[in-house]
Amino acid sequence: MSAQPYGLIATFDDVPSLYHAAESVRDAGYRNWDCITPFPVHGLDKAMGLRRSIVPRISLAGGITGFLTGMSLIWWTGAVDYKLIVGGKPYFSPMFAFPVAYELTILFTAFATIIGMFVLNGLPMHYHPVLKYDQIRRGMDDTFFIVIEARDPRFNLENTKALLARAGGKAITELEA
Protein backbone atom coordinates (compact mmCIF):
# COMPACT_ATOMS: atom_id res chain seq x y z
CA MET A 1 0.00 0.00 0.00
CA SER A 2 1.25 3.45 -0.82
CA ALA A 3 2.27 5.87 1.88
CA GLN A 4 -0.89 7.97 1.66
CA PRO A 5 -4.16 5.99 1.52
CA TYR A 6 -7.37 7.38 -0.04
CA GLY A 7 -8.86 7.43 3.42
CA LEU A 8 -10.27 5.38 6.27
CA ILE A 9 -13.48 3.38 6.27
CA ALA A 10 -15.33 2.06 9.32
CA THR A 11 -18.42 -0.12 9.55
CA PHE A 12 -21.46 0.31 11.78
CA ASP A 13 -24.18 -2.22 12.49
CA ASP A 14 -27.26 -0.07 12.80
CA VAL A 15 -28.72 3.38 12.17
CA PRO A 16 -28.38 4.85 15.70
CA SER A 17 -24.66 4.02 15.97
CA LEU A 18 -24.00 5.43 12.48
CA TYR A 19 -26.05 8.53 13.32
CA HIS A 20 -24.14 9.25 16.53
CA ALA A 21 -20.79 8.46 14.90
CA ALA A 22 -21.64 10.94 12.14
CA GLU A 23 -22.33 13.55 14.82
CA SER A 24 -18.93 13.03 16.42
CA VAL A 25 -17.12 13.18 13.05
CA ARG A 26 -19.05 16.39 12.28
CA ASP A 27 -18.16 17.85 15.70
CA ALA A 28 -14.48 16.96 15.19
CA GLY A 29 -14.58 19.37 12.24
CA TYR A 30 -14.07 17.04 9.27
CA ARG A 31 -15.27 18.16 5.86
CA ASN A 32 -14.20 15.57 3.26
CA TRP A 33 -16.12 12.55 4.46
CA ASP A 34 -19.30 10.66 3.74
CA CYS A 35 -21.71 8.03 5.00
CA ILE A 36 -22.72 4.99 2.97
CA THR A 37 -26.06 3.42 3.87
CA PRO A 38 -28.24 0.73 2.29
CA PHE A 39 -31.28 3.04 2.43
CA PRO A 40 -31.97 6.75 3.00
CA VAL A 41 -31.60 7.69 6.68
CA HIS A 42 -33.78 10.69 7.51
CA GLY A 43 -32.01 13.33 9.54
CA LEU A 44 -28.55 12.07 8.59
CA ASP A 45 -27.86 15.29 6.69
CA LYS A 46 -28.26 17.18 9.96
CA ALA A 47 -26.10 14.67 11.88
CA MET A 48 -23.43 15.15 9.20
CA GLY A 49 -23.73 18.93 9.40
CA LEU A 50 -24.63 19.21 5.71
CA ARG A 51 -26.13 22.51 4.67
CA ARG A 52 -28.91 22.75 2.12
CA SER A 53 -27.85 22.43 -1.48
CA ILE A 54 -26.95 25.60 -3.38
CA VAL A 55 -28.71 24.28 -6.51
CA PRO A 56 -31.68 26.67 -5.93
CA ARG A 57 -29.31 29.64 -6.26
CA ILE A 58 -27.95 28.28 -9.52
CA SER A 59 -31.57 27.83 -10.66
CA LEU A 60 -32.34 31.45 -9.76
CA ALA A 61 -29.30 32.67 -11.66
CA GLY A 62 -30.43 30.61 -14.66
CA GLY A 63 -33.92 32.03 -14.41
CA ILE A 64 -32.76 35.63 -14.29
CA THR A 65 -30.43 34.99 -17.24
CA GLY A 66 -33.31 33.47 -19.21
CA PHE A 67 -35.65 36.36 -18.42
CA LEU A 68 -33.08 38.97 -19.48
CA THR A 69 -32.21 36.96 -22.60
CA GLY A 70 -35.86 36.85 -23.67
CA MET A 71 -36.45 40.53 -23.02
CA SER A 72 -33.27 41.65 -24.79
CA LEU A 73 -33.90 39.25 -27.70
CA ILE A 74 -37.27 40.88 -28.44
CA TRP A 75 -35.92 44.36 -27.80
CA TRP A 76 -32.86 43.88 -30.04
CA THR A 77 -34.65 42.24 -32.94
CA GLY A 78 -37.74 44.48 -32.88
CA ALA A 79 -36.49 47.86 -31.74
CA VAL A 80 -32.84 47.99 -32.85
CA ASP A 81 -31.78 45.55 -35.52
CA TYR A 82 -34.88 45.48 -37.77
CA LYS A 83 -37.51 48.02 -36.80
CA LEU A 84 -40.95 46.87 -37.83
CA ILE A 85 -44.36 48.01 -36.71
CA VAL A 86 -46.58 45.01 -36.03
CA GLY A 87 -50.27 45.46 -35.24
CA GLY A 88 -49.86 49.13 -34.41
CA LYS A 89 -47.81 48.24 -31.37
CA PRO A 90 -44.62 50.02 -30.27
CA TYR A 91 -41.25 48.68 -31.43
CA PHE A 92 -40.69 47.32 -27.98
CA SER A 93 -42.95 46.68 -25.02
CA PRO A 94 -42.31 44.32 -22.11
CA MET A 95 -45.90 43.22 -22.62
CA PHE A 96 -45.37 41.23 -25.80
CA ALA A 97 -41.81 40.31 -24.86
CA PHE A 98 -43.15 38.67 -21.73
CA PRO A 99 -44.25 35.31 -23.15
CA VAL A 100 -40.81 34.83 -24.72
CA ALA A 101 -39.00 35.97 -21.58
CA TYR A 102 -41.22 33.74 -19.49
CA GLU A 103 -40.52 30.66 -21.59
CA LEU A 104 -36.78 31.31 -21.59
CA THR A 105 -36.90 31.83 -17.81
CA ILE A 106 -38.32 28.33 -17.44
CA LEU A 107 -35.95 26.79 -19.99
CA PHE A 108 -32.81 28.37 -18.51
CA THR A 109 -33.95 27.55 -14.97
CA ALA A 110 -34.39 23.91 -15.94
CA PHE A 111 -30.96 23.80 -17.61
CA ALA A 112 -29.27 25.50 -14.65
CA THR A 113 -30.96 23.15 -12.20
CA ILE A 114 -30.04 19.95 -14.03
CA ILE A 115 -26.49 21.05 -14.86
CA GLY A 116 -25.96 22.51 -11.40
CA MET A 117 -27.09 19.29 -9.77
CA PHE A 118 -24.77 17.11 -11.88
CA VAL A 119 -21.79 19.41 -11.37
CA LEU A 120 -22.33 19.53 -7.61
CA ASN A 121 -22.95 15.82 -7.02
CA GLY A 122 -20.13 14.74 -9.31
CA LEU A 123 -22.27 12.34 -11.34
CA PRO A 124 -21.81 10.44 -13.55
CA MET A 125 -18.91 8.87 -11.67
CA HIS A 126 -17.49 5.66 -13.16
CA TYR A 127 -15.00 4.85 -10.42
CA HIS A 128 -14.62 5.53 -6.73
CA PRO A 129 -11.86 4.20 -4.43
CA VAL A 130 -14.37 2.64 -1.99
CA LEU A 131 -15.32 0.20 -4.75
CA LYS A 132 -11.99 -1.56 -4.18
CA TYR A 133 -12.96 -2.35 -0.60
CA ASP A 134 -14.18 -5.96 -0.56
CA GLN A 135 -16.89 -5.39 2.07
CA ILE A 136 -18.45 -2.39 0.33
CA ARG A 137 -21.21 -4.45 -1.30
CA ARG A 138 -22.70 -4.94 2.15
CA GLY A 139 -23.47 -1.24 2.03
CA MET A 140 -26.31 -2.22 -0.27
CA ASP A 141 -27.55 -4.80 2.22
CA ASP A 142 -27.13 -4.52 5.98
CA THR A 143 -24.02 -2.50 6.87
CA PHE A 144 -23.39 1.19 7.31
CA PHE A 145 -20.07 2.91 6.58
CA ILE A 146 -18.30 6.15 7.29
CA VAL A 147 -15.47 7.13 4.93
CA ILE A 148 -13.06 9.91 5.89
CA GLU A 149 -10.81 11.05 3.06
CA ALA A 150 -7.10 11.64 3.52
CA ARG A 151 -7.34 15.00 1.72
CA ASP A 152 -9.30 16.41 4.64
CA PRO A 153 -7.08 19.00 6.37
CA ARG A 154 -7.77 17.42 9.77
CA PHE A 155 -6.91 13.92 8.56
CA ASN A 156 -4.23 12.19 10.58
CA LEU A 157 -3.96 8.41 10.28
CA GLU A 158 -3.62 7.73 14.01
CA ASN A 159 -6.01 10.40 15.34
CA THR A 160 -8.70 9.72 12.74
CA LYS A 161 -8.49 6.00 13.44
CA ALA A 162 -8.88 6.73 17.15
CA LEU A 163 -11.86 9.00 16.46
CA LEU A 164 -13.63 6.33 14.43
CA ALA A 165 -12.92 3.72 17.08
CA ARG A 166 -14.23 5.99 19.84
CA ALA A 167 -17.36 6.64 17.74
CA GLY A 168 -18.06 2.90 17.68
CA GLY A 169 -16.71 2.07 14.22
CA LYS A 170 -15.64 -1.52 13.57
CA ALA A 171 -13.25 -3.00 11.04
CA ILE A 172 -11.46 0.31 10.49
CA THR A 173 -9.59 -0.13 7.23
CA GLU A 174 -7.28 2.02 5.10
CA LEU A 175 -8.62 2.48 1.58
CA GLU A 176 -6.18 2.16 -1.29
CA ALA A 177 -5.90 5.37 -3.30
CA atoms within 13 A on the CB side of 137: 1
**Binding flag, residue 88, other proteins (CB under 8 A):** yes
Nearest residue (CB) to other proteins, 98 versus 111 = 98
Residue 122 near other proteins by CB under 8 A: no
**Least Cβ distance, residue 20 to other proteins (angstroms):** 20
Q: Which of residues 26-65 bind other proteins (CB under 8 A)?
A: 42, 52, 56, 60
Tell me which stretch binds other proteins (CB under 8 A): 3-11, 96-104, 112-120, 143-151.
96-104
Residue 144: C-alpha distances to residues 37, 40, 113, 150 (Å): 5, 11, 30, 20
CA atoms within 13 A on the CB side of 134: 1
Q: Which residues make up the interface to other proteins (CB under 8 A)?
A: 42, 52, 56, 60, 87-89, 95-96, 98-99
